[in-house]
Amino acid sequence: MTEVRALVLERQHVLALRDIDLPMAVGPGMVRIAIHTVGVCGSDVHYYTHGKIGPFVVDAPMVLGHEAAGTVVEVGEDVSHLRVGDRVCMEPGIPDPNSRASRMGLYNIDPTVRFWATPPVHGVLTSQVVHPAIYTFKLPDNVSFAEGAMVEPFAVGMQAAFKAGIKPGDTAVVLGAGPIGTMVALAALAGDVRAWSWPILPSQSWILRPATKGLFRSIFAKMIWRQKLRGSPTGGAPIWFLNVRDRRVPGKASWHCRGRGAPSWLLACQ
């Protein structure tokens, strides 16, 4: 164990930025990663505000954070696809590779999965973590750390869009504008769906603030540019941000639907 500085949820409503003992030994097949960027999604907020999510109860201090990107600083034996200095993002859920779900290729639903920042497993709002190399993925040079940290939330968005069976030209309202809601809206956009990301909580109107618009604008701009290159039938449909506290929201939503009635999809996220 090594003492590292981390954002620790001591118990419900009590956070501390302090040193905590975390395992830092790099065994075979493992890598050590210096964390650069971590997203904070509804799961972290739930643990802070409610002290639990369903059966997962914070009954001991726990480091928060599970969607992250960083740089490899140490490589264990038997790791051939990563080197020191590689910029990477990580799969936050480590399954049992021999479980039925894993062998079916559905490792995300393995009931024994160990997921960062899910009691009693510590998360990654800390300076460094040790992680299995096979669940650590090198980022291309044109993908930023912030975008890398959004890869796991974006996978959630792609699964939501896939499960919903979206079609080009559909319309969608995404309730919730945290990392998950934003990535669901992006996934819908990738499927040529007109999407509105709709903050479900007043606190989520942070996304409407100029300080945070820049990052999401740059991500959206890349996505829209790619759609235009692909010859998208909607010509790169934009995402509109609506504020749930705005009384004009119903009128705005119907205007964006261009007289086609209600949105095709309502996707609730955190």
Tell me which residues touch Zn ion (CB under 5 A).
41, 43, 67
Between 93 and 263, whose beta carbon lies closer to Zn ion? 93
How far is 205 from 198, CA to CA, in rounded Å? 9
Q: What is the CA radius of gyration of the chain?
A: 20
Rounded to a whole number of angstroms, the minimum distance from the CB of residue 264 to Zn ion is 26
Coil, strand or helix: which one is 82?
Answer: coil
Tokens of 4: 């590292």
Minimum CB distance to Zn ion, residue 172 (Å): 20
Report the nearest approach of Zn ion to the CB of residue 134 (Å): 21
The two tokens of residue 100 are 């039925």
At residue 185, what are phi and psi to the nearest 5 degrees? -60, -40
Type and span of the H or E element at 214: helix 210-229
For Zn ion, the closer CB: 147 or 170: 147
How many Å separate Cα 16 from the centre of its chain? 23
Nearer to Zn ion, 43 or 118 (CB): 43
Residue 176 or residue 263: which is nearer to Zn ion going by CB?
176
Which residue's Cβ has the minimum distance to Zn ion?
Answer: 41
Comparing CB distances to Zn ion, the nearer of 39 and 191 is 39
Q: How far is the CB of 67 from Zn ion (least distance, A)?
A: 5
Continuous segment of H or E residues that includes residue 228: helix 210-229
Cβ proximity of 124 and 116 under 8 Å: yes
Choose among 90, 87, 71, 83: nearest CA to 128.
71
Helices (H) and strands (E) in the chain, counts: 7, 16
In the complex, minimum distance from the CB of residue 251 to Zn ion, in angstroms, rounded to a whole number = 33
Closest approach of Zn ion to the CB of residue 66, in Å:
5
Tokens 């590689």 map to which residue?
A: 86
Q: Name the token pair of 144.
A: 């930023």
Tell me, what amino acid is at 40? V
Task: State the residue for tokens 């290159």.
Answer: 229
Min. distance of Cβ 75 from Zn ion in angstroms?
27
Is the Cβ of residue 67 or residue 110 nearer to Zn ion in the bound state? 67
Terminal C-alpha separation, the chain: 33
**Residue placing its CB nearer to Zn ion in the complex, 43 or 126:** 43
